[in-house]
A and B are shown apart, each in its own frame.
Chain A
Amino acid sequence: MVRGATGSGMQVDLAIVGGGFIGQALALAAASVGLRSALIERRPRTALADAGDDGRVSSLALGSQRMLAVLGVWPTLAAEAEPIRDIRVADGRSPLFLHFDHREIGDEPFGYMVENRFLRQALLAAVERGGAIRLLAGRRLRAIQREEFAARVELDDGTAVEAPLLVAADGRGSALRAQAGINALSWRYRQTAIVVTLAHERTHDGVAKEQFFPTGPFALLPMRRSRSSLVWSLRHDLARALLAADEATFLAAVERQADGQLGLLSLAGPRYNYPLALEQAERVVDRRLVLVGDAAQAMHPIAGQGLNLGLRDVACLAEVLARQARLGLDLGEALALASYQRWRRPDALAMLLMTDGLTRLFSNNLPPLRVARRLGLGLVNRLPAVKRVFERHAAAAAGDLPRLIRGLPVPP
C-alpha cells in the first residue's frame, strides 16, 4: 500500500532501523499483510548470513515458535530446535522444587532452544524470499528527519528512504531512541551472566533446570545432540574468576553446581559474559517513530524472555499496522501508535518486574527468606491452578495476545 510521492528516494511503508532478529521478524510480519519495508542494518549481509557456530543460543517460547511458523521461518528451523518438555525450578539444592510438565498445559512443549546461527539463516532466507523487503545492509544512518506526514532517513551511501513510520529495532542503547530524546530507566545488578554451550554424557530428557543459589541463578537449557546451554549468573568477581579459569577448572565448577546429573561435561563453544542490567524506555512511541525489542526494553538473560518479548512487540505492531492499512488510515498516526503503546506496556512491565523480583528474591542468603522460598516453591507445586498460571506465562500464552503469537495469520 505504498503511496504518496511527496519526496525523492525510496518510498516504503516501514523504515526499520536494525536488521537483527526483531527487525527481520517485523519486516516479515509486515510483508505478510502486504506492507513493504526497508530494513537498514549497519553490519554487512555476510554477518547476517553467518553460518559459523558462535555458541549463542536463544529460547523461543511456544508463542514465538507459532509466530515463526506463520511467517514461514519455522520449517527450515524445526530440525535444529530442541523442545523444552519440562521445567524444574529449585532453590539451590533443596529437595523441594517446582516442576512444570508440558502435559499439564496440553501436549505441546513450553518452547524450543535453538542456536542463533540457525535462526539467523532461517530468518534471512525468509526475508530474501519475497519481494516486499528491501535489505539495506552494511549501511549507516547519516540523517533522520521526522515530520508531520513522513519520516525520512538518509544513509551513508546517499540512499534516502521515506516512510510514514520509522521503527527503532536497533537494540539496547538504541541510537534512535536517544535521538528522539526518549529517556530510558536502567538498573544494574552486581552480577554477570556467563553463557556457554556444554556437551554432556547423559541425556537431558528435554528438561530445563533452573536452580537459585545465593550467588545467583544457574540454568541448564536442553539443546540438540546432547548439549545444554548454561546461563549462570554470579557476582562480578566470581564470574571474572570463572571466565579466566582454564577449561578443566571451569568445568569442575559447573559439575559441582549441576551435581553431576548430566555426567561428564565438555565445552562446546566459547564462554560469553553479560553484565546483568535492565533497561526500559519511558515511552515507546514518538512522532512517526516506534520502538520495538531491546530498544524498548532490554532485560538480562535470567528468564530468557528478551527475544520473546521483542517478538510480541512485533506481533502487536503488525496487527495495529494491518488494521490501519485495511481501513486506509495513516500507518504512523499518533492514535495508532498510542494504541500500540497501550497494548505493549503492561506485558513489558510485568516481565521486567518478574525478572527483577526473581533476581532480588533469590540472590539472597538470609535464612528466613530461604525457608520461605523453599516452602513457596513447594506450595506452588501443590496448587495446580497457580502453577498453570505460571506455566502459561512462561510459555507466553497468557493475556491479550496478538494473533501471530496465537499462531494465526494477521488478516490483511
Chain B
Amino acid sequence: MTAEPAGDSALKAETERFRRLAATWWDPAGPMRPLHLINPARLDYLVGQLRRRLWPKAEGRLDGLRLLDLGCGAGLVSEPLARLGATVVAVDAVAEALELARARALRQGLAIDYRHGTAETLAATGERFDGVLALEVLEHVAAPRPFLATLSMLTRPGGLLLLSTLNRTLAGYVLGIFAAERLLRLVPRGTHDWQRFVRPAELRNWLAENGADLVDVTGLSLDPLGSSARLGGSTAVNYLATAVKRTS
C-alpha cells in the first residue's frame, strides 16, 4: 500500500492516512474490503506468473523463491505467499500495519520477515530477490520513475517485478475514484489521486529505462455486484503487470 521511501519519494499524507486505517486492515467488511475482494484474483495472477516464469520445484507451491512484498500493509499478500512456501520479506512504512501483521504471523506460525522501512532503505542493504512485488503501491508514491529504478535494483537478474495499479484513463477516474470513493464508498474518500495513476505504456518505458522488460499486462475487474473480482478483460481501470529483469 505505502512503500513510502523516506526522504526521497515520500508522501507523508499517504502514510498518515494508512496509519489511521491499520487496525481495520484485515476486516473483510471494513474500509479495506475492496482489497480483500480482489485478493484471490490478484494472487491467482501472482502465483501463476511466479510459477510459469521462475519454475519453483514443488507442484503448486513457491518453495525456494525469495520474495519481497513492498508496501505489504498488514500482510494480505505476504501471508498467502508464505503459506505456499516462499521466503517472504515484507516492507511497509506504516508501523501500525506491521504490528498487526507480525501478531497475525506469530499466531498462525508463519515465518514472514516484516520490516519497517521503504524501498530505498532496503535497496541500501544490497539484498536481491527472485521476485519483487509492489501491489497497489505505484499510485501512492510521489515519483514512480525513481521508485521503479529502486524496484529493479532489488530484483536479481532474470527475476520478476510484479506490479498492480490503477490506469490513468477516463474509466480509471470514473470507476477508480468517482464510483469507488464517492458513489459506492468502497474505499475511503481521498484514497486515490488520478494524477498519480500510471498508464501501461508509461510503465513499459520506465521499466525499460531501468533494465526490465514488461512481459505481461492483465486487466482486473470487480464484478458488478462488487462481491468478487476476476482477471482478464479491460485494463482500463485496474491492471496487473509483470516485468523480467534483464540478465545483462
Do A328 and B81 touch (CB < 8 A)? Answer: yes
8 Å CB interface, A306-359 against B: 323, 326-330, 333-335, 339, 342
Chain B residues whose C-beta falls within 8 Å of the C-beta of A339 in the assembled complex: 227-228
Do B47 and A328 touch (CB < 8 A)? Answer: yes
Query: Could you tell me how many residues of chain B have their Cβ less than 8 Å away from some Cβ of chain A?
Result: 24
Whether A3 sits at the interface, judged by CB under 8 Å, is yes
Do A335 and B36 touch (CB < 8 A)? Answer: yes
Q: List 14 other contacts, CB 8 Å, given A328-B43, A328-B81, A412-B60.
A: A1-B83, A3-B83, A6-B108, A149-B108, A323-B40, A326-B47, A327-B47, A327-B80, A327-B84, A328-B47, A328-B80, A329-B39, A335-B28, A339-B228
27 contacts between A and B (CB under 8 A): A3-B83, A3-B109, A4-B108, A4-B110, A5-B109, A6-B107, A149-B107, A323-B40, A326-B47, A327-B40, A327-B43, A327-B80, A328-B43, A328-B47, A328-B79, A328-B80, A328-B81, A328-B83, A328-B84, A329-B40, A330-B79, A333-B28, A334-B28, A335-B28, A335-B36, A342-B227, A412-B60
Do B44 and A327 touch (CB < 8 A)? Answer: yes
Whether A157 sits at the interface, judged by CB under 8 Å, is no
Secondary structure call for the A interface: loop
Question: What are the interface flags for A141-154 relative to B under an 8 Å C-beta threshold, 1 for contact and 0 otherwise?
Answer: 00000001100000
How many inter-chain contacts with C-beta < 8 Å in the A-B complex? 49
8 Å CB interface, B157-178 against A: none
Whether B137 sits at the interface, judged by CB under 8 Å, is no
Measured CA separation A148–B108 after assembly (Å):
10
Chain B residues whose C-beta falls within 8 Å of the C-beta of A342 in the assembled complex: 227
| Residues of A participating in the B interface, judged by any CB pair closer than 8 Å | 1, 3-6, 148-149, 323, 326-330, 333-335, 339, 342, 412
Can you list the 6 inter-chain pairs with the closest CB atoms, starting with the nearest?
A328-B80, A4-B109, A328-B83, A328-B84, A327-B43, A5-B109
Least CB separation from B78: chain A residue: A328
Measured CA separation A316–B209 after assembly (Å):
47
Whether B82 sits at the interface, judged by CB under 8 Å, is yes
Chain A residues whose C-beta falls within 8 Å of the C-beta of B104 in the assembled complex: 149
Least CB separation from A329: chain B residue: B80
Measured CA separation A73–B40 after assembly (Å):
32
Measured CA separation A14–B186 after assembly (Å):
33
8 Å CB interface, B82-98 against A: 82-84
Chain A residues whose C-beta falls within 8 Å of the C-beta of B37 in the assembled complex: 335
Measured CA separation A149–B43 after assembly (Å):
20
